[in-house]
Structure formats: structure tokens, C-alpha cells
């Protein structure tokens, strides 16, 4: 059962990051433009930040799809989703009319829906981390 749950989580998170990265890459200029409108990213070079975001999204997908790197993928996914949920929440509660740079249907979600959506995927990532944990040390019984 645990294996099936992990497989479902890997598929869902992989689909999310693949979808988001492809849409951003397909309209890269819009992605850059939307990032430039964010008051929280004023200090950062968008020409450096944008490829890092895309690369990280594709890296997460790659890490999740190999058993040896899956736990790292879940940790990275958790971290990115938590940071982005905090980022969206800050934009929603403290600023107005800031476009989301997610692309596709994700960018068209109202902020409250998008925040809840991200929190759900953050929890999925955390579940993946917990399910890939190695069992705690158990003393060996010698017969």
C-alpha cells in the first residue's frame, strides 16, 4: 500500500512541476515580465532567477523519478512549495494586483485557491518525505 501511495505522490508532484515549468518556458518573456512586477523580487536579477526556477522545477521531477534520489526530490519539492506558498500568501495579504508567474491554469487561479492548492502539494511532499524514511535503528537479534 505504501508503495502505491508513494507512486501516486510522485506522479502528482511530477505532473505539477512539469506542467508549471513547461508553461513558463513556453512563454518565457511573460514569465520574466510577471516576475519583474513582483515587489518581493525587486532586488533579484530576473535573468538569473528565472532559469534557476525552471531548472529547479525540472530537477525536482528528475529526482523524484529515480528511487535513489526520491527522498531528496521530496525534500526539495517540500522546500520549494513551502517557500512559494509563503511568497503567494505575502503577495495576497500585503500587496494588490500582482500577477502570478506560474503560467497556464495555475496562473489563472485566484490567490486564495492557489495558496490552498500549494499547501496541499506541500503536504503531499511532506508525506513523501515521511514515507521514504528509512526505519529507525532496530537492534539485531542474533540466533
Q: Which three cell numbers stand for residue 62?
A: 528528475
Q: 137 vs 88, which has greater pLDDT? A: 88
Residue 127 placed within a domain: yes
Domain assignment of residue 99, given as a range: 2-131
pLDDT score for 105: 85
Residue 136 placed within a domain: no
Mean pLDDT (the chain, rounded): 91
Mean per-residue pLDDT for 74-92?
A: 96
Range picked from 12-16, 32-36, 94-98, 134-138 for highest mean pLDDT: 12-16
If phi > 0 it is left, if psi is from -120 to 50 it is alpha, else beta; for residue 128 that is alpha
The C-alpha angle 44, 125, 89, rounded to 5 degrees, equals 45
* CB atoms inside a 10 Å sphere around CB 74: 26
Residue 31 placed within a domain: yes
Least reliable range by pLDDT among 46-60, 67-81, 122-136: 122-136
Instruction: Determine the 3-state secondary structure of 45 from DSSP.
Output: coil
Residue 33 placed within a domain: yes
Residue 58 placed within a domain: yes
Residue 143 placed within a domain: no
Residue 64 placed within a domain: yes
Taking alpha carbons only, the member of 77, 76, 73, 57 closest to residue 65 is 73
Residue 138 placed within a domain: no
Q: How many domains does the chain have?
A: 1
Amino acid at each position: 500500500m505504501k508503495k502505491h501511495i508513494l507512486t501516486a505522490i510522485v506522479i502528482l508532484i511530477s505532473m505539477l512541476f512539469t506542467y508549471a515549468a513547461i508553461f513558463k518556458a513556453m512563454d518565457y518573456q511573460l514569465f520574466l515580465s510577471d516576475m519583474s512586477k513582483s515587489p518581493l523580487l525587486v532586488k533579484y536579477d530576473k535573468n538569473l532567477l528565472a532559469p534557476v526556477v525552471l531548472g529547479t522545477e525540472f530537477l525536482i521531477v528528475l529526482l523524484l523519478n529515480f528511487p535513489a534520489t526520491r527522498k531528496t526530490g521530496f525534500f526539495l519539492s517540500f522546500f520549494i512549495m513551502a517557500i512559494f506558498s509563503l511568497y503567494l500568501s505575502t503577495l495576497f495579504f500585503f500587496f494588490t494586483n500582482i500577477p502570478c508567474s506560474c503560467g497556464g491554469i495555475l496562473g489563472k487561479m485566484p490567490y486564495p485557491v492557489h495558496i490552498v492548492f500549494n499547501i496541499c502539494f506541500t503536504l503531499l511532499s511532506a508525506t513523501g518525505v515521511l514515507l521514504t524514511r528509512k526505519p529507525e535503528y532496530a537492534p539485531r537479534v542474533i540466533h
